[in-house]
């Protein structure tokens, strides 16, 4: 007779604390309690499915009843340990609260609490999904839970601790089990496959670990299913087919077309994916995960830890092709589109609109009503955006030559010449955010070769930081086609920054609007007939 197959989730269930994965914060407390002999009479283990609640409870039961004595490392060989592992130990009473919710069931269980253990050292009550008990059942349990006989231990497990009465929570030591990180799940699955002698591809294992969503039991169950699906091996293609995920090459091609900024080509490729019947929500998740890896490479300079889905060379290439601000925008748009996908007319339409938003709202590109984003100059990012140095220099030279005043010795440009050009120059710089704010609160004093002298408005001194100065210098260097070194000098009384110029122009427009409003015959008529009074602060110019 053929030996019955044991599922991986059962075969590789942890049998000791050192075999637990991802729950060190729980096992360390229990090990120390066992070593010191300070074992509480009631424990509550909470956490999502498949993270080890029941496994920890069974290990603790073995530690308390091992024939070698109370220990944190049960032998696993004695009769008590073997019977607990197989669920045949008479003094380990496992109760499924989901199927025994009535108060009569609880009383029947508690009737035997007072009797000494039959074989073991302790009588252990393991109540799974304890939150399913009725209110009357909890009331029947409370007194025993608070003052049990010395030979009784209560181990409670639940996925929903919020449903437990506070009176029960206060009588237990509570341990919150965490979702297991994907990298740890993948490492455990690889160990299992190696010991089972099953061939595997790391990318296929990574997909299973990711689909498990923090649950080791779900990961082992999915792995069992994939081995059967793949005919005895674990491969990436079979994993994607079984899980219904899109091939990563498709996700990479989406990212590459986003980097190129070609809307028609991006849309054509997105529509071609329909032949694979993809889950568009999952596709956006995959794209967001890839963008996370690219952002990490750009900001920290390191690859995604334990990444087996995307090669470091690919991430490095995308990090060089995509601007950092574009990556952040694309990621935010992807997760927002993922959230709004159920509201779209259909999933494909919502997915396509999400991709078009990524292109349409890229920072730094000029926008005109009805203009196609792909037709705009590729000047959206610092990596692609700087105008050609010779063109920038020619534009600046033309402006300065047309100015009636020129610098004297050394070709330096005096303040009165630079002040009128600084605002125009800012409009040509590839500069966003706080760096543009810093530039707008400066006045150009002079420029001589690669040395640019600026005066910063004293009221805006907090904007001057090393990083923002560096961004401004880089933008000027790209514009002029040569390295630029900034020097900040005291502001002359006659200098005016672009920000001050905008404020002055706004005040002048507002004042002109107030004068025009007060001079209006209709307003004058209201004043004379009704004694009306104009509140000048509420008058705004028509834009």
What is the average per-residue pLDDT within 340-362? Answer: 88
Burial label for 321, CB within 10 Å (0-12, 13-18, 19+), is middle
Question: Averaged over 360-389, what is the pLDDT?
Answer: 46
Evaluate whether 254 touches 331 at the Cβ level (below 8 Å).
no
> Residue 512 CB: number of other CB atoms within 10 A?
11
Residues 189 and 337 in one domain: no
- 396 falls within a domain: no
Q: Cα separation of 33 and 39, whole Å? A: 5
Q: Is residue 378 part of a domain?
A: no
What is the arithmetic mean of pLDDT over 189-196?
A: 92
Dihedral sign (CA 459, 460, 462, 464): negative
- Per-residue confidence band for 543, with pLDDT thresholds at 50, 70 and 90: low
Q: What is the pLDDT of residues 151-164, one digit of tens each?
A: 999 999 999 888 89
Whether 313 and 212 share a structural domain:
no
Instruction: Determine, yes or no, domain membership for 380.
Output: no
Domain match, 78 and 133 both: yes
- Please indicate, yes or no, whether residues 13 and 149 belong to a single structural domain of this protein: yes
For residues 23 and 147, membership in a common domain is answered with: yes
| Contact criterion met (CB below 8 Å) for 154 and 148 | yes
Q: Is the pLDDT of residue 144 over 70?
A: yes
Note whether 171 and 192 are same-domain residues.
no
Question: Among 128, 146, 176, which residue terminates a domain?
Answer: 176
Answer yes or no: do 75 and 132 share one domain: yes
Number of independent structural domains in the chain: 5
Top mean-pLDDT range of 171-175, 361-365, 537-541: 171-175
Q: Are 137 and 102 in contact (CB under 8 A)?
A: yes
In a domain? residue 323: yes
Q: Can you give the residue range of the structural domain that contains 113?
A: 8-176
pLDDT of residue 363: 64
Asked whether 59 and 75 are in contact (CB, 8 A), the reply is: no
pLDDT band at 333 (very low <50, low <70, confident <90, very high): very high
**156: three-class secondary structure by DSSP:** strand
Structural domain ending residue among the three candidates 218, 243, 268:
243
Q: Is residue 263 included in any domain, yes or no?
A: yes
pLDDT tier, 190 (very low <50, low <70, confident <90, very high otherwise): very high
Confidence of residue 360 (pLDDT cuts 50, 70, 90): confident
pLDDT tier at 305 (50, 70, 90 boundaries)?
A: low
Residue 368's pLDDT band, with cuts at 50, 70 and 90, is very low
Confidence at residue 306, expressed as pLDDT on a 0 to 100 scale: 58
The CATH code of the domain that includes 328 is 1.20.272.10
197 and 289 inside one domain: no
| 3-state secondary structure (DSSP) of residue 123 | strand
Residues 6+ apart with CB under 8 A from 396: 421, 425, 479, 480
Question: Are residue 160 and residue 220 in the same domain, yes or no?
Answer: no
304 C-beta neighbours (distance < 10 Å), count: 18
Lookup result for tokens 């220099």: 393
pLDDT of residue 87: 85
In this structure, is residue 218 part of a structural domain?
yes
pLDDT band with cut points at 50, 70 and 90 for residue 142: confident
**The domain spanning residue 445 has which CATH number?**
3.30.300.150
CATH code of residue 58: 3.40.50.300
- Residues 348 and 209 both lie in one domain: no
- Is residue 420's pLDDT more than 70? no
- 344-375 burial, b if ≥16 CB within 10 A, otherwise e? beebbebbbbbbbbbbbebebbeeeeeeebbe
pLDDT score at 394: 40
Give the mean model confidence (pLDDT) for residues 501-515: 83
Note the pLDDT of residue 421: 76
| pLDDT on residue 303 | 66
Residues 219-269: tens digit of each pLDDT: 999 999 999 988 888 988 888 778 766 677 788 888 888 888 778 888 888
pLDDT at 211 over 70: yes
> 12 and 88 share a domain?
yes
Please report which confidence band the pLDDT of residue 388 belongs to, taking 50, 70 and 90 as the band edges: very low
State the average pLDDT for the chain.
80
Residues 437 and 458 placed together within one structural domain of the fold: yes
Q: Specify the CATH number for the domain of residue 225.
A: 1.10.8.60
- Alpha-carbon distance of 261 to 38, in angstroms, equals 64
How, if at all, do strands 442-448 and 173-176 pair? unpaired
Tell me which of 10-24, 61-75, 100-114, 155-169 is least confident. 100-114
Q: Give yes or no for residue 146 having a pLDDT over 90.
A: no
Q: Is 387 among the domain residues? A: no
Residue 149 within any structural domain of the chain:
yes
pLDDT tens-place string over residues 20-29: 988 989 999 9
R_g of the chain, CA atoms, integer Å: 35
For residue 59, pLDDT over 50 is answered with yes
């Amino acid at each position: 007779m053929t030996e019955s197959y044991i599922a991986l989730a059962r075969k590789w269930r942890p049998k000791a604390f050192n075999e637990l994965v991802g729950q060190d914060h729980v096992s360390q407390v229990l090990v120390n309690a066992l070593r010191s002999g300070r074992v509480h009479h009631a424990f509550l283990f909470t956490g999502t499915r498949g993270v080890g609640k029941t496994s920890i409870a069974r290990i603790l039961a073995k530690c308390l009843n091992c024939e070698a004595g109370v220990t944190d490392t049960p032998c696993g060989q004695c009769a008590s340990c073997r019977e607990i592992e197989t669920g045949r130990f008479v003094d380990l009473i496992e109760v499924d609260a989901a199927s025994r919710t009535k108060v009569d069931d609880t009383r029947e269980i508690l009737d035997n609490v007072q009797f000494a253990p039959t074989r073991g050292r302790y009588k252990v009550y393991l109540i799974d999904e304890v939150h399913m008990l009725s209110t009357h059942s909890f009331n029947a349990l409370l007194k025993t839970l608070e003052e049990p006989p010395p030979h009784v231990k209560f181990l409670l497990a639940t996925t929903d601790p919020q449903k437990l009465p506070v009176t029960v929570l206060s009588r237990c030591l509570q341990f919150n089990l965490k979702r297991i990180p994907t990298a740890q799940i993948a490492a455990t699955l690889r160990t299992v496959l190696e010991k089972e002698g099953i061939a595997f591809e790391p990318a296929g294992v990574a997909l299973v670990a990711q689909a498990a969503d923090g649950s080791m039991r779900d990961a082992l169950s999915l792995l069992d299913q994939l081995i059967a699906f793949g005919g005895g091996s674990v491969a990436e293609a079979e994993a994607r087919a079984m899980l219904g995920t899109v091939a990563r090459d498709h996700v990479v091609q989406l990212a590459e077309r986003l980097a190129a900024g070609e809307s028609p080509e991006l849309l054509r490729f997105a529509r071609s994916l329909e032949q694979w019947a993809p889950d568009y929500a999952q596709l956006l998740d995959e794209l967001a995960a890839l963008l996370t890896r690219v952002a990490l490479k750009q900001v920290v300079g390191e690859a995604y830890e334990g990444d087996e889905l995307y090669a470091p060379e690919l991430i490095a290439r995308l990090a060089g092709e995509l601007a950092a601000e574009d990556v952040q925008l694309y990621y935010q748009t992807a997760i927002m589109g993922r959230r709004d996908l159920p509201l779209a007319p259909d999933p494909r339409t919502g997915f396509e609109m999400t991709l078009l938003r990524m292109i349409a709202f890229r920072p730094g590109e000029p926008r005109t009503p009805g203009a196609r984003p792909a037709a705009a100059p590729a000047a959206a990012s610092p990596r692609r955006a700087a105008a050609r140095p010779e063109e920038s220099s020619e534009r600046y030279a033309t402006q300065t030559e047309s100015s009636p005043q020129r610098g004297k010795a050394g070709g330096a440009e005096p303040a009165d010449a630079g002040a009128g050009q600084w605002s125009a120059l800012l409009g040509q710089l590839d500069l966003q955010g706080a760096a543009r704010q810093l530039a707008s609160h400066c006045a150009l004093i002079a420029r001589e070769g690669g040395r640019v002298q600026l005066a910063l408005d004293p009221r805006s001194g907090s904007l001057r930081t090393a990083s923002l100065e560096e961004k401004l210098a880089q933008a000027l260097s790209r514009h002029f086609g040569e390295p630029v070194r900034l020097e900040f000098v005291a502001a002359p009384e006659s200098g005016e920054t672009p920000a001050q110029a905008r404020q002055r122009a706004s005040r002048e427009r507002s004042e002109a609007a107030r004068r025009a409003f007060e001079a209006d015959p209709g307003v004058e008529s209201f004043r004379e007939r009704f004694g009306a009074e104009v509140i000048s602060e509420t008058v705004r110019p028509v834009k």
